[in-house]
Structure 1
Amino acid sequence: MSDSYAQPILRTADLSEGLRSVERLLGIADLRDLEVDFDVLVSSAHVLTPLLKLFPDAEWWAEGGRSGSSAKGDAPSAHLPVRLGSWAAPVETVGPFLDALGGSPATVPWDFMGWPAAPEVGLGVGGARGAFVTLCVNARDLELEEPATDHTVFVHVKQVEAERAPWLAAQVGLRVIGDLVMAPY
């Protein structure tokens, strides 16, 4: 079961603009226990090699109903395209990850302790469940099923606190631009 619901608040062709929006959101969050996760669809060895150097213990599995995975001890380069993921990584790995992507679709969720109180919409401090910001790179959705040439920032909230998403967007000068959807993580 998903722990959060997500709502897009920015779509931009400028990756640095997306990162600045993430940084502004993180600036109002309770960053205790901050960590990042990574999920990427890899179609070429050119992208796979630097990602495996960055995350040597990453989990991966073949896409498109084909077999092959890190759990089986297979070589990922023999099973392209693959989905590669790494969890609970230090924030310092975000830059090198983004540099290695090329045009591959990926998500970078930042996970932390919670959101601030939103008294204007009747909400107290939000706890860790549902407190994420995700940057979708070269994708418009969290599942990476809609590749794009632009990038989307999502805020995550508890479903029962859906009004927190537009409030968070407004705190950083943005607005929601799509529906609240169940997050896959």
Structure 2
Amino acid sequence: MSNSYAQPILRTADLSEGLRIVERLLGIADLRDLEVDFEARVSSAEILAPLLELLPHARWFAEGDTGGSSTKGDEPLAHLPVRLRGLALSPETVQPFLDAVGDSPATVRWDFMGWPEAPEVGLGVGGARGAFVTLCVNVRDLELEVPATDHTVFVHVKQVEAERAPWLAAQVGLSVIGDLEMAPY
């Protein structure tokens, strides 16, 4: 499995605006096999408890020197802060996840079959590899390293189809606002 390349197209303090842009992008995508992945950096029991209730099979690992993880069967509360990841979930879990995550840094990534044809930039229908949209919540980057008070929407494409990112942004009335970068997973 190779990584996708992502480019930011919106930064906003209004989370609902970010979600509207995601919905518009999903409206032009081939949504067969649609699933959602979540990741969050969690520092408090008040945030961790509802996230674990929502995502009971989430994987997690400790950030720092404690070395705790779900693969070892450790108790996450004993290892805060942790990075929690839920994979291949239903789109209906997005709003409950956003409600539970509070002001913690998090990402929601929609994964689907492909992007549409982009004849204006010479591209045919895009396949599943590189067909994602990510909403970064309370963080500026895909790796959850740069905390923020706003939210960023990224479109993902194949590296060889980099022209698709600005084309996608234009389809929802936006333009790219940063560089194309390799996504972490």
Normalised by the size of structure 2, how large is the TM-score? 0.99
* Contiguous gaps of at least 5 residues in structure 2: none
Q: What SS is found at the alignment partner of 1:149? A: strand
Alignment partners' CA distance in 2, 1:170 and 1:64: 41
Partner of 1:39: 39
1:116: Cα distance to partner?
0.3
1:133: Cα distance to partner?
0.2
Change in Cα spacing, 1:142 to 1:44, as seen in structure 2 (3 Å) is same
Q: What SS is found at the alignment partner of 2:46? A: helix
Contact 1:2 1:182 in 2 (8 A): no
Q: What SS is found at the alignment partner of 2:139? A: coil
1:102: Cα distance to partner?
1.2
Q: What SS is found at the alignment partner of 2:147? A: coil
Number of aligned residues: 185
Partner of 1:107: 107
1:35: Cα distance to partner?
0.2
Q: What pairs up with 1:28-177 in 2 under 5 angstroms? A: 28-177=28-177
Alignment partners' CA distance in 2, 1:45 and 1:6: 32
1:135: Cα distance to partner?
0.2
Alignment partners' CA distance in 2, 1:178 and 1:2: 22
Of all paired residues, the percent bearing the same amino acid is 82
Counterpart of 1:150 in structure 2: which amino acid? Answer: D
Q: What SS is found at the alignment partner of 1:87? A: strand
Counterpart of 2:38 in structure 1: which amino acid? Answer: F
The Cα RMSD (Å) is 0.8
1:118: Cα distance to partner?
0.3
Normalised by the size of structure 1, how large is the TM-score? 0.99
1:181: Cα distance to partner?
0.2
1:48: Cα distance to partner?
0.1
